[in-house]
Chain A
Amino acid sequence: MLERELKLRISEEVGPGQIKDVLEVRAGLEDAAGIQVPELDESPFTPHQSDRLADVAVKNMGRQLARMFWYEPGTRVGVDPEYVHDMRVATRRLRTALLVFADVIPEKARLEWQRELRWIGRGLGRVRDCDVELDRVKRMAADAPNPERSALLIFANKVQIKRARRRAKLLKQLDSTRFMALKALARPWIEMRADSALVRNGDGPAYIAGPRIVSEWDARMLAACRTAEQLPTAENVHALRISIKHLRYAVEYFADLEGHGARHRAKQLGRLQNILGARQDAAILLRHIRRYEATIPEEDRDLLLGARSAIEKIDRAARVKKSELHQVLKLGTDQWLA
């Protein structure tokens, strides 16, 4: 089924009859997107003990940019939502890298990258948010009794239409000259030309600078933990999640130098991020489904009851439990103390 769908979509892009075999899908993806897909061989981006901080910055930026453009053809074809997700994650890691390596990347370049990554990341995020919502709503609908199921399915249809429109906009973005310019901007990073136009020199070895940088992000996460502990509002819990995400990425950027311990730590932080992320996704879904409920005609009482029943369930899923927050805070604090 997937193979048939892939061939159909690709043949729409590159013309019928050009795809003979699923093995040609990769070539078809390249043709459909109009670009050469870079190889996913990431070994050149692996930092070494002898690297300066500037080298690690270039390698991390290069790795994420290579990933971002590798996922682009799949994003365009649109069969598998994971491509959009992975491309968006690459833009998020890049934006965090710009903060983590702020000392070595010139400000002008940083600001330009932040602006362009925010632009493309927003387009990807708008599609991804719909995918996350659709996945959850469809899973809920599968187990729901009938009036609730109908309400969830009509809501899912609404999200699907929104997604199709957002995807059309995203494709326009990917076809724009601005995105072409972004690719040109990325080329020296992917080719790892660590010249003075990209990064500042004289920052010493990365194995010394790395732990110092990570400890700064550690301190920020701890501060966010303390704030959320004192006042667990939605904003503070959200800020905590963001600080955990930043710390996780910072740890990952230096993990090849730090070894197994750092990789384990990044995984732990990922778990914390996921716990809070699931609540955040449910909170956004709750807002949207409440807005949908307001559009149901009053005469359709069954559907209204169904929507309200779904809202109650989502409301429960969106609440961060005290025990859960305690677990995140404890693990977060232990992380810092370790």
Chain B
Amino acid sequence: MELLIVRHAIAVEHGDPAYKRDDDRPLTPEGMHKFRLAARGLREFTEKPDRIVSSPLIRARQTAEILRDALAPDVKIEFCDDLVPGGDFGRAVTFLRQLGAERVAIVGHEPHLSGFTSYLLVGEKCKASVTYKKGGAALITFPNGPGAGHGTLEWLVQPSALREIAATHSA
């Protein structure tokens, strides 16, 4: 299985008085513009995902929609409560396993995603030091299906590099 991990794009700042609940913070227009270009970069070197799973929070959902439009317009976005900050890694793995898909893209939040990546690579959440910028992405492969410590990190690319790739290919 190939797992594409994506962190949500730039959202309204935490603590903005207009959003009392942190869960309600949406992407900014700048975040949407930048991630549209980054998603085009992703399209250049990733396969089309069979399933797209997002955290249910609005900023992740909006990111997943842009990702879907760029990579797999016919794929429906699904939601997993264990992709929210503080979600359980073990349950998230079970969720992914139950999908039974060859290629899955997930969209979530930091620091949850870096902890989850470490969990997938070495079996513990703090052992491997991985950081995703907003709109950044990584690909992990599992020869025998997803599990704690069973993954191999194929690549991790930050959003500026993804946008560069998109610009190079459209020129």
Q: Which residues of A contact B (CB under 8 A)?
A: 12, 146, 150, 154-155, 157-158, 160-161, 164-165, 167-168, 292, 295-297, 299-300, 303
Shortest Cβ gap from B83 to chain A (Å) = 21
- Report chain B residues within 8 Å CB of A292: 29
Contact of A157 with B33 in the complex, beta carbons under 8 Å: no
Contact of B18 with A303 in the complex, beta carbons under 8 Å: no
Q: List 28 A-B contacts (CB under 8 A).
A: A12-B20, A146-B69, A150-B69, A154-B32, A154-B33, A155-B29, A157-B26, A157-B27, A157-B62, A158-B28, A161-B18, A161-B28, A165-B17, A167-B18, A168-B17, A168-B18, A292-B29, A295-B29, A295-B30, A295-B33, A296-B33, A297-B33, A297-B34, A299-B37, A299-B167, A300-B33, A300-B36, A303-B33
Contact of A158 with B29 in the complex, beta carbons under 8 Å: yes
- Report chain B residues within 8 Å CB of A164: 18-19
Considering only residues 62-97 of chain B, those with a C-beta below 8 Å from chain A are 62, 69
Shortest Cβ gap from B10 to chain A (Å) = 12
Given contact pairs A154-B32, A297-B34, a sample of 17 additional A-B residue pairs in the complex whose CB atoms are under 8 Å apart: A12-B20, A146-B69, A150-B36, A150-B69, A158-B29, A161-B12, A164-B18, A164-B19, A165-B16, A167-B18, A168-B17, A168-B18, A295-B33, A297-B33, A299-B37, A300-B33, A303-B36
- Report chain B residues within 8 Å CB of A165: 16-18
- Report chain A residues within 8 Å CB of B26: 157, 160-161
- Report chain B residues within 8 Å CB of A154: 29, 32-33
- Report chain A residues within 8 Å CB of B33: 154, 295-297, 300, 303
Contact of B28 with A299 in the complex, beta carbons under 8 Å: no
Instruction: Work out how many contacts link A and B, with CB atoms closer than 8 A.
Output: 47
At the interface, yes or no: B166 with Cβ under 8 Å from chain A?
Answer: yes
At the interface, yes or no: B98 with Cβ under 8 Å from chain A?
Answer: no
Q: In the bound complex, what is the Cα–Cα distance between A144 and B17 (angstroms)?
A: 33
At the interface, yes or no: B129 with Cβ under 8 Å from chain A?
Answer: no
Contact of B37 with A300 in the complex, beta carbons under 8 Å: yes
Shortest Cβ gap from A162 to chain B (Å) = 9
At the interface, yes or no: B144 with Cβ under 8 Å from chain A?
Answer: no
Contact flag A297-B37 (CB < 8 Å), given A154-B29, A157-B27: yes
8 tightest A-B CB contacts, nearest first: A164-B18, A165-B18, A168-B18, A158-B29, A154-B32, A168-B17, A154-B29, A297-B33
A302 and chain B: residue at smallest CB distance? B36
- Report chain A residues within 8 Å CB of B19: 164
- Report chain B residues within 8 Å CB of A146: 69
B28 and chain A: residue at smallest CB distance? A161
Q: In the bound complex, what is the Cα–Cα distance between A164 and B26 (angstroms)?
A: 11
